[in-house]
Amino acid sequence: MTTLETLSESEKNRVRITDVKAMQLKDQAGQSLVKIETDAGVDGIGEAGASGPMVRAHLQHLRGTLIGQDVFEIDKLYTRMVNMQHPYRSNIPTVSGVDIALWDVVGKLLNRPISTLISGRFRDEIPLYINTPGPDDWFDPVSCRDWSERMKEAPQGWSTLKFGFERLMGNGLPEGRYSPGQLSQTLRATELDLIRRGYENCREALGDKTDFIVHCHNEWDLPTAIGLTQAVASSNPLWVEDALPVWYSDTWKALKQASPVRIITGEKLELPREFLPFLMNEALDAIHPDLVFAGGLTGCRKIADLAEMFYIPIATHNVGSLVQNMATAHFGASVRNFVITETRISQNRLIDEMAEEKVQVADGKLAVPDGPGLGITLIPEVLRENLIEGEPYWD
């Protein structure tokens, strides 16, 4: 038996789902909170990678699958939700939010942190990386040095950063040179050389004790992606992220074979089935799922188990609220091949304001909560004050 099955055996069929709700807060990357209500008077909170109206619409479709069901049968409910095909396929971001909320309520009912229910903890804190646009001027040594010092002086102790080269547009690259997510764009050799020099300046300013990630947005063609990896290799990045369009094709395999640096993708992929071709074809050095898009804790645990069969490590994408950060902390604690997660902690004030418990970050690592479920107690007044315009409170 798994940890959850063992602990919940005596609780089966005693707590039922009575309702499922969603609402969207301001400035949380367009994502929504999800709430599971039960007849035991205990609620669970999750986060879905879609807007409030979209999630509520999909929850109407899921109500027949969820209402009245045993809250402890998470794997059965997950399986039923992701396998829905008619009258339309399930929206996996919505399923993700429901799944996280189910784990939260079960943890509260058993008085255990989620990470101890999934597998037990491999670690009590998880490494983080933060986003930055880079220096104001990538070709001015003073600007590069000032940016580096700001990053290093942050009280959270960041040691890994992620940044693309958008700031080079208008400063060497033509303004509006490319658009994130517009497929198969091309960079010229002279532009790649400019990017090379820009990243070398950033590396010189950061020194050799800070790692950085090269941020792309699934926008390049294969020759450009290969050229980009060659251009940044001299700066020794941790990896290049999302250099090609989202879905698997053999171009991903060709990129990995040609690249002198690690290749990673996955933030827009869903469920194990979309990660499998990347793994089977040895097309990545690491994968990058997002809990609120890829299937929640249950789905991402299945992805992690699959990746381990191919000796592939996991980093997680995470631009969401406190709820996603805490869910990611429990996931990272309970997955052996977990490496690091993205976060907006320190950049999004609401992350540290929406719960009674304060976020604990030191030396670039997030402490995994020890409280039941996610380990957070949301503050209703703060949530109400931060609803987007026209959004209902837990409708």
Please count the other Cβ atoms lying within 10 Å of the Cβ belonging to residue 104.
29
Please give the Cα distance from 167 to 13 (Å, whole number).
Answer: 56
Which pLDDT belongs to residue 7? 66
CATH of 3-116, picked from 3.30.390.10, 2.60.34.10, 3.40.50.300, 3.40.50.720, is 3.30.390.10
Q: Where are the domains of the chain?
A: 3-116, 120-374
For the cut 70, the answer to whether the pLDDT of residue 391 exceeds it is: yes
pLDDT band at residue 88 using 50, 70 and 90 as cut-offs = confident
pLDDT digits (tens, 9 = 90+) for 34-77: 999 999 999 999 999 999 999 999 999 999 999 999 999 999 99
Question: How many residues comprise the chain?
Answer: 395
Q: DSSP label at 89? A: -
pLDDT digits (tens, 9 = 90+) for 301-336: 999 999 999 999 999 999 999 999 999 999 999 999
pLDDT digits (tens, 9 = 90+) for 190-236: 999 999 999 999 999 999 999 999 999 999 999 999 999 999 999 99
Please give the Cα distance from 200 to 164 (Å, whole number).
Answer: 13
Q: Residue 161, by phi and psi: left (phi above 0), alpha (psi -120 to 50) or beta? A: beta
pLDDT digits (tens, 9 = 90+) for 119-165: 899 999 999 999 999 999 999 999 999 999 999 999 999 999 999 99
Which amino acid is it at 125?
E
**Mean pLDDT, range 335-361, rounded to an integer:** 96
What CATH code is assigned to 120-374?
3.20.20.120
Which pLDDT belongs to residue 1? 41
9 by DSSP, 3-state: which? helix
For the cut 60, the answer to whether the pLDDT of residue 366 exceeds it is: yes
> How far from chain centre, in Å, is Cα 126?
13
pTM value? Answer: 0.96
Which amino acid is it at 142?
V
For the cut 70, the answer to whether the pLDDT of residue 2 exceeds it is: no
**Mean pLDDT, range 71-91, rounded to an integer:** 92
